[in-house]
Chain A
Amino acid sequence: MNEDSQKLDNSNAGSEFSDEEIVKSHVELSKTKHEPTKNFLIAPLVFVFVFGCLIFVCSIQLAHSTNSFQLHPPVEVVELTAEEKEALRLERKISSGEKIFAARCASCHQANGLGIEGQFPPLANSEWVSADPGVIANIILKGLKGEIIVDGKKYGTSAAVNMAAVPISDREIANVSTYVRQAWGNTSSEVTEEFISQVRAEHSSRQDQWVGDELKALFSDSFGE
């Protein structure tokens, strides 16, 4: 074999432990616990100190990150300011109104709120919408018949149109009228649910649909007459 390897093998052979020696000496070591020494042992102290610190760090970490062993992560609670809450509420109201409009109004008044000339009056830029909220509330609640003039053009037929033929709640009416009053460039005020209830109660005995002039007379202030 190779010269070097022979030399290496021989040099090792002198001081190598036999297996019996390995076992016996280590068994002896584990009985005496540590090698006899003159000075006190630093290593165990260092180990105890380091391990103590580790246990401390681990406990803190465990207490902070296990989420009390719950199955689901904690729900994040975000505190909103009064203005943010108000803006969020209005946003939700308008988006709800938009859905109601799309489902129940857009077939005649069209999604862009421009209506169809001669038949269905526009809602965008219409004094009937931007007038007192009572006007739109009453029209939705009872319906409208006859002809009206919007933005200088004549609309409607003699046939009565009943917007509330399918039952609609006060809350839904409030949402959709708020949407209509603030969409397509309209900038009128919000309509509340309480206001709709009030209007409904006020005209509860009325059976017929409204006629345009009747409403104009009722809300003459806001039509500027």
Chain B
Amino acid sequence: MTTDSPDKIIDRSAKLVFSFFLSSAGLWLLTAAFFAYLAAAKLTDPFFLSTCEFLTYGKIKVAQANAFVYGWGGNAIFAVSLWILARLSQAEVRGSFFLIVAGVIWNLAITFGLLGILDGHMSGHEMLEMPTEVWPAMLISYLIITFLALVIHRSRQIKETIAPQWFILAALLWFPALFLIAWHGLEINTARGTLQTVLSMWYGQSLIWLWLTPVALGAAYYLIPAVLGRTIDKYYLAIFGFWCIAALAPWSVVHHLEGGPVPMWIPAIGTVMSIAMVFPIAVASTNFHATAFLDIGKVWDSLPLRFVIFGTLSYTVSSYIGVVFSLPAVAKITQFTIINEFHFNQRVYGFFSMIIFGAVYFALPRITGREIPIGAKSFHFWTSTFGVLLLLLAYLIGGLTHGVLAGQPSLEWSSAVIGSIQPYFLITKIAFVILAFSQLVFVVNVWRVIFPNPLSLLATGNKEASV
């Protein structure tokens, strides 16, 4: 590789922005992990930190979800999307100054938003709990970043676009659309009665399906061919999968209202669209796994791809489980149980985060020119795999137990029902500790590559002092 190859120039232009977004994403990841542990600990021991007004369960739980989705998710999406778009367009990242300024505003908005949540100024809408005062700052900073991402895409060398570009650009544009619809319907021109509940729930779930999911899918569509050196198998299906997600996902999410006080057709349509979601899930998993299993040895050898394939496998399995849980007969048991935690965590940990980890491990050495020790990466992979599987299994089995027991009125609630779910809460607490540890390793890996100098400066300073 010569120093003047086009990729090098692109990477150099993306370096500052990528490092900024990634290091802030890392900090949010640790914040979310801390909150997740506190929330899990409160479920096993109700008196844990019970005297602290800022750390009640309701606040912690919400703060964790927001820190995870907007803090870690948002920053990671900016970092990964900008880099992949720049690479595929063969165009440099421009306007780094504005990107950094927008990023600082975004992060400050979330910081104040979380402080507002902990102080009790929640808005009460799903995934929009941050006080309404920070919403404009979030939207404006997001639009600046999206605009500059579109600038990169506009200056692309090849006119035709491919799957990763569709997914990433769509996700970048869908978020402000969702956000504006929810903002308009919940605050500006407040919807009345049932519609407000439906809208709030729709936003919270669509955010995951139309923002986090497409970015992760796009990253997978990019990384698999890039690492394996072969094209996506049955690529002609990808366009179909893309439009299916666009058309069906925002409808399918309303199946979570099954059994709620809404007109019957809302959850009924949600259920039907969830069943139809089998199309895009089947397409994506065929594309990814048919390609990956042609050369499974190489997937195993390449750590970034191992993360990605874990993510896509988890996407496939958990999405099918999600389809089954949307059926009214099953929802009768699983509704209003800790299965809801399973849905959230499988999307954000098992799928989105794992693919982002893979993308970061793929991009970071290319951007900074410094390699992360394979042992550290491998350690991160195994701890997060183990932690995610432990977490999801505990929520899945615990949720089914919860649903079956809660459906029997003869059982005494506090001893029989809660008593038999308690062990699963303990397992999730352990899983969150493992995940927190694994995420700490990830952040240390990333920070050591991005900021090698402060540590070495500190070390030499110490040496000089000791000498």
Q: Give me the interface of A with B, judged by CB distance under 8 Å.
A: 1-2, 4-6, 8-9, 11-12, 15-20, 22-27, 29-30, 33-34, 43, 47, 50-51, 54-55, 57-58, 61-62, 65-67, 69-73
Contact = CB atoms under 8 A, between A and B. Distances in A.
A61 B252 CA distance: 14
Contacts of A33: 236
A73 B90 CA distance: 56
Given A22-B225, A30-B236, A57 B275 contact: yes
Give the 3 A-B CB pairs with smallest separation, nearest first. A15-B229, A66-B265, A65-B268
B87 interface: yes
Contacts of A29: 231-232, 235-236
Nearest to A62: B272
Contact of A26 (B90, B235, B237, B263): B235
B235 A30 contact: yes
B231 A19 contact: no
Contacts of B229: 15-17
A61 B160 CA distance: 39
B285 to A, nearest CB: 12
A23 B278 CA distance: 27
B162 A5 contact: no
Interface string B224-262: 011111111011110100000000000000000000000
Contacts of A23: 88, 158, 160, 162
B444 interface: no
Contacts of A66: 264-265, 268-269
A5 B225 contact: no
Contacts of A50: 278, 282
Given A9-B371, A18-B7, A54-B279, A43 B234 contact: yes
Contacts of B282: 47, 50
24 contacts: A1-B371, A1-B373, A6-B371, A8-B303, A12-B227, A15-B228, A17-B226, A19-B87, A19-B88, A19-B226, A22-B88, A24-B158, A29-B231, A29-B235, A34-B236, A47-B237, A61-B271, A62-B268, A62-B272, A65-B268, A67-B264, A69-B265, A71-B263, A73-B264
B186 to A, nearest CB: 22
Interface string B278-293: 1100110010000000
B108 interface: no
B63 to A, nearest CB: 37
A203 to B, nearest CB: 57
Contacts of B272: 58, 61-62, 65
B444 to A, nearest CB: 15
A72 B370 CA distance: 63
B158 A20 contact: yes
B231 A26 contact: yes
B178 interface: no
Which interface residue of B268, B273, B372 has the most chain A CB atoms within 10 A? B268
Interface of B: 7, 87-88, 90, 157-158, 160, 162-163, 222, 225-232, 234-237, 239, 263-265, 268-269, 271-273, 275-276, 278-279, 282-283, 286, 301-303, 328, 365, 370-375
A222 to B, nearest CB: 51
Contacts of B228: 15
A30 to B, nearest CB: 7
A16 B226 contact: yes
Given A16-B226, A16-B227, A2 B375 contact: yes
A65 B326 CA distance: 13
Nearest to A74: B264
A18 B239 CA distance: 22
Contacts of B365: 9
Nearest to A32: B236
Contacts of B303: 8
Contacts of B239: 30
Contact of A22 (B226, B236, B263, B271): B226
B265 A19 contact: no
Given A23-B160, A25-B231, A8 B374 contact: yes
A61 B162 contact: no
Nearest to B239: A30
A54 to B, nearest CB: 6
Nearest to A4: B374
Contact of B373 (A2, A51, A73): A2
A62 B269 contact: yes
Contacts of A27: 158, 160, 162
Contacts of B237: 47
Contacts of A34: 234, 236
Given A22-B222, A26-B235, A58-B273, 13 more contacts: A5-B373, A8-B374, A22-B226, A27-B160, A34-B234, A47-B282, A50-B282, A55-B276, A61-B268, A61-B275, A62-B268, A69-B263, A70-B263
Which interface residue of B7, B157, B286, B371 has the most chain A CB atoms within 10 A? B371
B302 A26 contact: no
A1 B158 CA distance: 36
A191 B227 CA distance: 92
Contacts of A5: 371-374
Nearest to A60: B272
Contacts of A54: 275-276, 278-279
A201 B127 CA distance: 74
Contacts of A9: 365, 371
B309 to A, nearest CB: 15
A133 B282 CA distance: 78
A19 B7 contact: yes
A103 to B, nearest CB: 37
Given A1-B371, A16-B226, A8 B301 contact: yes
Contacts of B263: 67, 69-72
B266 to A, nearest CB: 9
Contacts of A8: 301-303, 374
A43 B286 contact: yes
A20 to B, nearest CB: 6
Contacts of B160: 23, 27, 30
A169 B273 CA distance: 59
Nearest to A58: B272
Nearest to A72: B263
A57 B276 CA distance: 9
A34 B286 CA distance: 14
